[in-house]
Amino acid sequence: MDVWEAIMKRRTVRRFKQEPIPQSILINLVNAARMAPSGANIQPLKYMIVDDPAKVIRVFEQVRWAAYLAPNGAPGENERPSAFLLILLDNTIKAATPELDAGAACQNIMLAAAAEGIGTCWMGAIKRERIREILDLPERYTLHTVIALGYAGEEPVAEDASDSIRYYKDPAGVLHVPKRTLKDILLPANGMQSAKSQPAKDE
Ligand SMILES: Cc1cc2nc3c(=O)[nH]c(=O)nc-3n(C[C@H](O)[C@H](O)[C@H](O)COP(=O)(O)O)c2cc1C
């Protein structure tokens, strides 16, 4: 899968096949994160793989899925992710742009995963202190977000947004993700002058 295809096809997945992801692949995804851009090249992020099924279940209990689909947004018992990746900020490294670095790193991870047929859900609605306890995370690390991973068990579709950006499921259970159109997000090239109406001739 080339980069363009991965960008266009990647969708947040919340239903997964019950098939473990080899740890070597998860490590490779962290390698993709390692290559992401970083403000001042500080690279303040660290990562933890959680793929032990007993630990995965415990982390699973601390995350909130698909607020717009509540109470039916969470994966069912046989649709759960097989791993989580923790995105951590190492507080011993003075970060210049930690939030932006995390965004770039996570996108690298999710695109690389998509190329492997692995679905991802980047998650910010998480119980950070509970996850810290479960995984015995030292205070040195701030838990930024987690990414749930598993071989994709659904194929959500993107569509042009009209009046709402809320994702929804159709009667067949397919997740639809409205994206604002290019027309909506792209301002006139080279400045706004061209968008202004031309003055009338006798002005
Ligand atoms: C920073 C961030 C945090 C997110 N947190 C959650 C979350 O806690 N739970 C969830 O189900 N989805 C979460 N998502 C996934 C978004 O709902 C999803 O990206 C959005 O609906 C667009 O769908 P797409 O990723 O398929 O384009 C998060 C996405 C981002 C970028």
CATH number (domain holding residue 175): 2.20.180.10
Give domain status of residue 197, yes or no.
Answer: no
- What amino acid occupies position 203? E
Domain annotation covers residue 181: yes
Look up the domain containing 173 and give its range.
156-188
| Residue 43 maps to a domain | yes
> Which of 5, 128, 119 lies closest to 64, judged by CA?
128
DSSP string, 110-134: HHHHHHTTEEEEEE--B-HHHHHHH
Residue of 7, 9, 10, 12 to mutate, ligand 1, most atoms within 8 A of C-beta? 12
Same domain, 106 and 163: no
Length of the chain: 203
Tell me whether residue 41 is in a domain: yes
Q: What is the DSSP letter of 52?
A: -
Predicted local confidence at residue 203, as pLDDT? 47
65 Cα distance to chain centroid: 12
Number of domains in the chain: 2
Tokens describing residue 174: 């397919």
Residue 99 lies in a domain: yes
83 lines ligand 1 (CB under 6 A): no
Instruction: Tell whether 118 and 26 lie within a shared domain.
Output: yes
Check whether residue 59 and residue 135 sit in a common domain.
yes
Contact 102, 87 (CB under 8 A): yes
Q: Is residue 70 part of a domain?
A: yes
Distance 18 CA to ligand 1 centre (A): 21
pLDDT at position 146, please?
98
pLDDT, position 35: 98
* H-run or E-run covering 178: strand 175-179
**200 domain residue, yes or no:** no
For residue 137, the CA-to-ligand 1 centroid distance in Å is 24
Q: Does residue 87's CB lie within 6 angstroms of at least one atom of ligand 1? A: no
Q: Please report whether residue 144 resides in a domain.
A: yes
Residues 13 and 66 in one domain: yes
Give the nearest ligand 1 atom to 167 CA.
21
Do 57 and 130 fall into the same domain?
A: yes
Closest CA to 16 of 113, 175, 152: 152
Q: What is residue 17's predicted lDDT score, i.e. its pLDDT?
A: 98
Is residue 129 domain-shared with residue 63, that is, in the same domain? Answer: yes
Amino acid at 24: S
Q: pLDDT of 87-103, one tens digit each?
A: 999 999 999 999 999 99
100 and 17 in one domain? Answer: yes
Nearest CA residue ID for atom 19, ligand 1 = 12
Per-residue pLDDT, 198 = 58
Find out whether the beta carbon of 121 lies less than 6 Å from any atom of ligand 1.
Answer: yes
Q: Which residues of the chain have pLDDT under 70?
A: 195, 197-203
Whole-number Å distance, alpha carbon 27 to ligand 1 midpoint, is: 22
CA distance to 71, 131, 159, 196, per residue, from 126 (Å): 16, 8, 28, 46
Ligand 1 within 6 A of CB of 69: no
* Rounded CA separation 132/135 (Å): 5
Q: Are residues 139 and 40 in the same domain?
A: yes
